[in-house]
Amino acid sequence: MGNSATPSWLSGLAELAPSYAAAFCDVWGVIHNGTEAGSPAVDALIRFRLAGGRVVLITKAPRTSRYIVRQLDELGVARHAYDDVVTSGDVARSLLAARGKTRLLHVGSEVHRHLYDGLPVELVDETTCDVISCTGLFDDNSETPEDYLERMKRWRARDVPLLCVNPDIVVERDGRLVWCAGSLARQYRELGGSTEIVGKPYAPIYRAAFDRLSAVAGAPVDADRVLVIGDGAETDLAGAKQQRLDALFVTGGVHAGEFGSRSHPDLRAVHGFLATTGVGATALMQRLAW
């Protein structure tokens, strides 16, 4: 169907479903907000699968797929709402494994340290590290990127490369925005630091998603039969554009504040936002529903 800078509103995913064999669906901002799942979104994915579609959840989370499945279980997201999950953490593990034995500085929450389990890495401090793996801020409840500026100057002085495991700049958590690893990667790059970012909108995670899709479908699926569902312009929509995939833009997520009323977004504001950001969408919904 193709993406447009002036897409129309949908009453539900059912209007698009017959045109697609599969969906690459975002998780945070579409299925849940960090603390609770959206029942209409889960129902929409279940109905899409009942109609014959396949669903691969594609998330920028700096965790492995099994942790995301566990989180979705805890939030009450039925496993029959999706076929498989691919994460930024999965892609990062592949890249780190390919580096071989490495001295690594982990920047982010302690809960993300499981990402390195079984890899040939030694966790060290900033004075001896060969690479920095950034999964987020140490405390995203109280810190901002500015709190890392002096540290980054020291990293830059040693010319240490930074691997950003979550491209998000911010995400919505329980009605408020919190800083993510992408904000630190952006700041480090502005200082001249070498930065590699995995996850959406970059190609490696889409290659992984197509591999997972082929496995669950039993055969390769043409790109023009895959619909991206997401709420992030710089990640979901930009990734869809770069991979030449159609996109359903969920406006009630991270960018909701740009469009006036959260429950009744201004269509002209949405179209203006898409034009300004240089991305498009095939269609729009305030929240994913069938």
User: Tell me, what's the pLDDT at 125?
Assistant: 97
**Exposed, middle or buried by CB within 10 Å (0-12, 13-18, 19+), for 142?**
exposed
The stretches of 165-286 forming alpha helices (DSSP H) are 181-190, 203-217, 238-243, 267-277
d(CA 207, CA 264): 36
Q: Return the number of other C-beta atoms located less than 10 Å from residue 136's C-beta.
A: 26
CB 40 within 8 A of CB 48: no
User: Tell me, what's the pLDDT at 102?
Assistant: 96
User: Tell me, what's the pLDDT at 86?
Assistant: 97
User: Tell me, what's the pLDDT at 17?
Assistant: 97
Residue-level pLDDT, tens digit, the chain, 290 residues: 888 878 999 999 999 999 999 999 999 899 998 889 999 999 999 999 999 999 999 998 888 999 999 999 999 999 999 999 999 999 999 899 999 999 999 999 999 999 999 999 999 999 999 999 999 999 998 999 999 999 999 999 999 999 999 888 887 777 778 899 999 999 999 999 999 999 899 998 999 999 999 999 999 999 999 999 999 998 999 999 999 999 999 999 888 888 987 778 889 999 999 999 999 999 999 999 99
d(CA 163, CA 135): 9
User: Tell me, what's the pLDDT at 256?
Assistant: 87
Helices and strands in the chain: count of H runs, count of E runs? 8, 14
Residue 87 phi/psi, 5° resolution?
Answer: -125, 160
d(CA 52, CA 289): 17
Chain centroid offset of residue 90 CA: 12
d(CA 76, CA 36): 8
Q: What is the DSSP letter of 288?
A: -
CB 127 within 8 A of CB 160: no
Residue 36 phi/psi, 5° resolution?
Answer: -150, 150
Helix axes 65-74, 88-99, angle to 10 degrees: 160
CA distance to 77, 175, 244, per residue, from 204 (Å): 26, 31, 15
